[in-house]
Structure 1
Amino acid sequence: MELMTERYFQKPLRLSHSASNLPDIVQYARSGSSGRFDDIAEGSYPAIYTHRNIRSFAPWRPKSHFSPDRLSYFNDTKSAKSLGPIVNVTGDSLGLHELEGLRIPSIYSAARNALYTRYTPADWTRGNLTRLSNSEQAMKRAEHIRENGERLGVEADDRIKRAQQEVGRLLGQRINDINYMKHELNNEIDALVNEMNKLNESKRIAEKAFAEIENPLHITQECLYHREKRQSTDLVHDQPEKALLKEIDGIKICQEQIKNIINRATAQLSLCRSVQHELEQDSSDKFRALQLDQLAHQLRNSSANIALYGDIEKLEKWMSVPEKWAEHTSANLKRSQAERAASRSIREAIEHCLGSTFSKIRDLWSSTNACLSQRIQETMEAKNRIQVQLEKINQELFDVEKNMEYLKRCIADKQAPLKVARTRLDLRNRRPNIELCHDDPHER
């Protein structure tokens, strides 16, 4: 009270020692302004106080507290009477002139009414012991929780360190695996590119050979065309003609074989390019994965640009497994090796085809030349025989003509004897009668 009065009033209070003149807090509680005291007191103490719900029998509890907002000054007596008992409102017999218009609860009445509700010293001791025991148990539980937390923290740090070391080791192994696979892919790409270059060269040679075969074919066709100019009985279906037709058929067959092998080489080059694209794509993916894994392998707890990235687990269903990863690369390598083997087979087929083609064309050309040579020889022999016979015939004709001239001269020379003979016959035919005899002179 003294503190409150000293806070709001500068002069000391002249209080009376008579308890009967103090205001009664029970009477004050009956007024309409006691609700705020009840609200403050209710629920302010723990459950160990069994009398917390008894309001009227515990005036010493905090509901008897009053704050500066409980103080009010009034200008008229009517307003003071409407709010309950007021200390010395009309007189100054108690000497409380400074408290005029101030409502103060009765401390004496509160102490008197609380005599029946106070705790005993045993209750006080027991309450202290209970609080100490509860606090000790709470401290032990807190210490146990703290120790468990520290132990879990240490274990978590240890597990995380071991996990990071294991992940680092696995990343290192993964980097080695990717490096090995990438090295194998690069070697296979180089081998495939070399094989493709060789196949391109073989294909170019085959195309050049196919173009060069046109010349023998054209020559053979020209030979047949010129042989069609033969006349009469010389236009015969002889061995050279058969050889020329056979050579044309053989050259066309060789051209068809070379064309087929060129088409095979073209298709194989397309397959090799497809495999090369797959290998290069796989190598590029592994190069990118190698960069990312190396970057991940270099990350530490103190590294920059580390964060709690979200939606990482959603990619799990799209990820491949190491077995599928290895099978994919192995399948690409096996396919490349198979295509390289097929390319080598085609190159060998091209070499064999060109060799057999040239050999066959050479054999056909030799056979045709032999037939033509033989036919030329036969023709030359026939011509020579005819030429000799022609010379003989010409000589005979000359002799016949010469003989004819001789005979003509002989005939001319015989005109005189003929005339003599005919004249003799004419003369003898003039013989008369029986003298006209067919005698020996007439016979001659």
Structure 2
Amino acid sequence: MKVPDIGSSDVPVIEILVKVGDTIAKDQSLITLESDKATMEVPAPFAGVVKEIKVKVGDELSEGSLIALVEAAGGAPAAAPAQAAAPTRVEAPKVEEKPAPIATPRGVLPGNAPEGDVAPTARPPFDAGIVMPGDAPYASPAIRAFARELGVDIRQVKGSGRGGRIQREDVTGYVKHALASGARPAGAPVAAGGGLNLLPWPKVDFAKFGAIEEKPLSRIQKISGANLARNWAMIPHVTQHEDADITELEAFRKKLGEENKDLKITPLVFQIKAVVAALKKFPQFNASLDETGEKLILKKYFHIGIAVDTPDGLVVPVIRDCDKKGLLDLAIELGEISKKARDKKLGPNEMSGGCFSISSLGGIGGTAFTPIVNAPEVAILGVSKAATKPVWNGKEFAPRLMLPLSLSYDHRVIDGALAARFASYLAQQLGDIRRLLL
């Protein structure tokens, strides 16, 4: 059994879910992989008995990597090539045999090896210098891009992976050390946070005050923490607050739910449709700054990221082409993608390409908050718990169900007046669902 197409390479194994001797069913999970964006379980392509496991926790796997040897149910390996009768022997033309080229140490040209040296028969140890000669840092393109985002000169980072390969944790560790020491990371612009002259992080022996327990952060929490710290430090956040009257919307939603009892229709699907309408009205919100910060990329598609709370931390899967889907379609897809997020089965493609994100705390509580913009997006909508309030209708105070909205935006791209108009228009869409049909 091998790793299928998972959309990325060098993904570490964080959990092995089977052991030698186990009888496994088709589609049963074998191992858990955790990439930079998601955790995913690799299913068995056929049923059988595990004879040998070829991976261990910490190994980095890509498409085609061998996971395990499994005797397929029925005694024959699944998808094994048929054992046909031995073909008729055909004499191949004689070719003059030449000795295979012998690997020589770096800096020694073939033919110039000292006399008496014998080529080793054992496999030489892995040397990153062969793959990346000279002083070039040994890191994947994704890690190089991550280092550039943080403003880190990757040549200054020491790799902890096999053969000195630079891992994501090496880059974040370098930045943390630089910030703690009050120094600016080599090559980093002031905007990266190194020029803030921050005090070192306090070192406290908490045990002297009472009993403590140490609990390591999950990989998702570590990755999210680094991204959130970068976004908060590099994006000038402003948050616009608005209330939407969803009295009629909620009545319609409940009626729709009664007509579709097998489908959970949440207020979030209406919010998605309202956000799409607002993005069409104000295209500057459906945009991203390029890496230079000098160009604005306006998008013609409408992919909405939805923050999902999982036991391992917050993930943001993306629902694509929301402008082309109705409320019921969105309700079905939202339920499916939320379940996949909680079951750790999201793929990298389901976590990328978002234009705008929604973080809803309506099922928990709160009256307002400041969500952090999910770079490279330029805005995010926070939704708190709706509450019935007395609202003046021109003649009297009437009870209305009011939904608090918190719109955080990148002030480099969006000014306060535009944000106020966007939030007001969004509240109008939610206040009269007939507008969503226009």
TM-score if structure 1 supplies the norm length? 0.17
TM-score if structure 2 supplies the norm length? 0.17
Q: Which of structures 1 and 2 has the larger relative contact order (alpha carbons within 8 angstroms, sep 6+)?
A: 1
Higher helix share: 1
